[in-house]
């Protein structure tokens, strides 16, 4: 089965590719000659995931899935949330985003946070939604070199290390995206068109 993953994030693409069975051929936006910037204008993760998946399906005719992920910090009333990728403003940059978050948390004792991912799958004129959550807390400084986004400052519940200190296999087993993609894979494994 061929499926387009509607993302320009090569780190995310590589991470998800490792999680899918060999029976699914994953295509990137580049593979289908889509170089459009798909604006994320919705106010929810689910809304943005649907928006991106619908754009690809309607314009290019492919079965596809798209995700949106947000980091939600309890003492910041769920921020940055849906604005996680652009938290520090444009141009979006992980280091600037982490710096702003650490600055905003400077005087906070509650550092509880969770990553949430919503995946929208468009398959044979139907849409399916899968979600995953990973609870944890925000470190006071960066730890580790692996991963991307907020990984160096996020410590998942039950661990003493950040996502950026884990192997991709370790991270994928417990991460928000890993959980949502696992639900997607299980669904596809049992899907009868």
68 is catalytic: yes
**Both tokens assigned to 46:** 């689910």
Name the active-site residue from 67, 68, 104, 107.
Answer: 68
Nearest by Cα to 54 from 38, 70, 43, 69: 38
SS (HEC) of the chain: CEEEECCCCHHHHHHHHHHCCCCCEEECCHHHCCCCCCCCCCCCHHHHHHHHHHHHHHHHCCCEEEEEEEEEEHHHCCEEECCHHHCCCCCCCHHHHHHHHHHHCCCCCCCEEEEEEEEEEEECCEEEEEEEEEEEEECCCCCCCCCCCCHHHEEECCCCCCHHHCCHHHHHHHCHHHHHHHHHHHHHHCCCC
Q: Which residues of 74-85 are buried (b: 16+ CB within 10 A; e: fewer)?
A: ebbeebbbbbbb
- By annotation, the residues acting in catalysis are 68
């Amino acid at each position: 089965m061929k499926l387009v993953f509607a993302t320009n994030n090569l780190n995310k693409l590589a991470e998800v590719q490792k999680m899918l069975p060999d029976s699914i051929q994953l295509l990137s936006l580049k593979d289908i000659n889509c170089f459009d910037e798909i604006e994320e204008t919705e106010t929810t993760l689910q809304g943005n995931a649907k928006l991106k998946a619908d754009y690809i399906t309607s314009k290019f005719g492919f079965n596809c899935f798209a995700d949106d992920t947000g980091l939600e910090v309890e003492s910041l009333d769920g921020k940055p949330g849906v604005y996680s990728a652009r938290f520090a403003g444009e141009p979006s940059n992980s280091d600037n985003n982490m710096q702003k978050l650490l600055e905003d948390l400077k005087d906070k004792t509650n550092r509880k946070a969770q990553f949430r991912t919503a995946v929208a799958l468009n398959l044979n004129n139907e849409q399916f939604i899968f979600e995953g959550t990973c609870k944890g807390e925000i470190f006071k400084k960066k730890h580790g070199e692996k991963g991307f986004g907020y990984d160096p400052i996020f410590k998942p519940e039950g661990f003493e290390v950040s996502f950026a200190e884990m192997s991709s296999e370790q991270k994928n087993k417990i991460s928000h995206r890993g959980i949502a993609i696992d639900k997607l894979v299980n669904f596809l494994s049992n899907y009868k068109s």
